[in-house]
A and B are shown apart, each in its own frame.
Chain A
C-alpha cells in the first residue's frame, strides 16, 4: 500500500457530564483548542478537519456537521462530518488518517462531539426511530431490547453468568475514579450491580453507561511534521472497519464477526500476528458491561467465551497482563456517543505518551488499541497506535 506514515501529536477532552452549559459548538471548540495546545500548533497549520457526531435527533439540529463547523475548527477548510453510529468516535481518526496517509493533508484535526442532554424526556427516545418501521417499531421496541437480546444470547451460548459480566462494570467504574473527566466513577460491588434496578433483563441499571455531553479531539499529522514537533511521535499502526447485515435478527448475536473482520484489517496493516501478545493496552467499547467481553473476543484478545475468565483472573485490570479500559470506559467516564469513542483514542494516546497520570498502566506499553461499535449493533472501527 502506497501510504505515508501518520502520527498522533496531541489530544483534547472536555468533562463528560449529564448536562453541560456549553453548546455543541463550544464543546467542540474546547476539545479542539486543548488538542491544538497539546500538540503545540495553531489552527492555521491544520489542513483539514474531520468531525464526528451521532444522531441529529439528540441535539435536535439537523445537518449537525455544518452546525458544529465553526467550533470544530473547520471554517474555510476541507471539512466533513462522518457518522457510523456509536462507532463514530473511532471512525473519525480513521477518516483523518486517510487525509494524511494519502498525502492530501499534512495535519488533520479529528474531533468528535455529542450533546445528548437536549432531548426530552430522555435521550434514549431518539433510538426508537433507528428500528425498522414495519418489522420492529410496532412492537414498541427500545434500544435496550437489542442489547439485552445480544447479552442473553452471549450468556446462553457460553454459559456465562450475570455476576461474571458485572465484574466489568465494577472494574471500569473503579478505574474512572482516576479520570478527571469522569461522570460516574464509583466503588461498587458485583452485588450492587446484581441488585440494581432491572431495565431490560439481563440488563440492569449498573450494567449500562450513562447518556452524556462531551467532546474529544486528536491531531493527526505526517511523520515529517511530527518529528518537528516532538521527539517521541506516536504512530498510527493500523486502521480497520467493517459492518454486518442490517437484518440483525438474521445474525448470530453471540459473536461480533464484523469486529473480527475490522480487527484483522487493522492488525494486517500493523503487522500484528498475535494480538493477545502484541497489544499492550486496549480501550474497547463498553456502553454495556457485556460489550467489553464481547469486543475482547471479537478483537482476538480473548478466545470465544474466554473474556469473562480473563476478567475474573484480573488480567484486564490496570496492573494486569492485558489492561482493558484503564480510562474507566463508557461505564465510568460516560457515554456521549461519538465523543466516547474519541475519549478512548485520547486515552491510548495518553497511555503511550505516559500522560495518563494515576491511570497509567503498570506494564510498559508500546502498542495500544481503541475500538468502538455502533450503527444497529453491526459496525466496528479499530485504531491501533504505537510508540517507536
Chain B
C-alpha cells in the first residue's frame, strides 16, 4: 500500500480460541402467524382442492402466478381468477446437498423453478422435483405435479409433493 495506508485494524479470533474469550450466548425462538392475504388464501384453498389458481390483469393481459391482488407493472388491482394447469417446464434447477443451517443433507434435494402452463410465459414458482434421476435433469424438461391424496392436503404448497417428468 502507499505510505498513507500503513495499517489495517482488527483482532481476529480463530475458531479454536473462541472459548478463550468471554463470549456470551443467547437464543430466541420467534413464533409467527402470518396472514395469507386475499390472493394467497384462495391459492392455498385451491391447492387443497388439487388445482392451481392465478390472477389475471386485463391491462397487460398477463396471467400472474403466484397470484396477487395487484399487478406490479400496471400498478392496478388485478381483474379475476384464472385456473392454470398443474404441468409446466423446468426454467432452471439445482441439486441441494445442504440444509438451511448449512449442514449436509442425507439425500440431495432436486430444486426447480417451474414455469406453469396456462400462466404467462415465465410465470412460475419454486418447487421440488421427484421420480427423476440426476442425469435426466434438464432445463426445459416438461413436468407435472404429484399431489398428495386429498385427505392429506391442508392448503399448503406442500399439497404438491413434487413435480415429476411427463
Contacts and interface: CB of A to CB of B under 8 A. Distances in A.
Interface of A: 13-15, 17-22, 27, 30-31, 33-34, 38, 60, 120-122, 124-125, 127-128, 132-136, 138-142, 144-145, 148-153, 156, 180-181, 197-203, 214, 245, 247, 249-253, 350, 353-357
A30 B97 contact: no
Contacts of A198: 95, 97
Given A18-B15, A135-B66, A124 B101 contact: yes
B94 A250 contact: no
B98 A200 contact: yes
28 contacts: A15-B9, A17-B12, A18-B12, A19-B14, A21-B11, A22-B11, A27-B10, A30-B9, A121-B101, A121-B103, A122-B101, A134-B40, A135-B40, A142-B99, A142-B102, A149-B93, A149-B126, A152-B93, A152-B139, A200-B95, A200-B97, A201-B97, A250-B64, A250-B124, A253-B91, A353-B2, A354-B2, A357-B1
Given A17-B12, A22-B11, A152-B93, A139 B123 contact: no
Nearest to A145: B111
Q: Which of B96, B112, B122, B140 has the most CB of A within 10 A?
A: B96
B100 A140 contact: yes
Contacts of A128: 100
**In which size bucket is the chain B interface?**
35 or more
Interface in B131-145: 139-140
A127 B8 CA distance: 29
B157 to A, nearest CB: 5
Nearest to A183: B12
B21 interface: yes
Contact of A134 (B72, B96, B101, B157): B157
Interface string B152-164: 0000111000000
Nearest to A181: B8
Interface in B78-100: 91-100
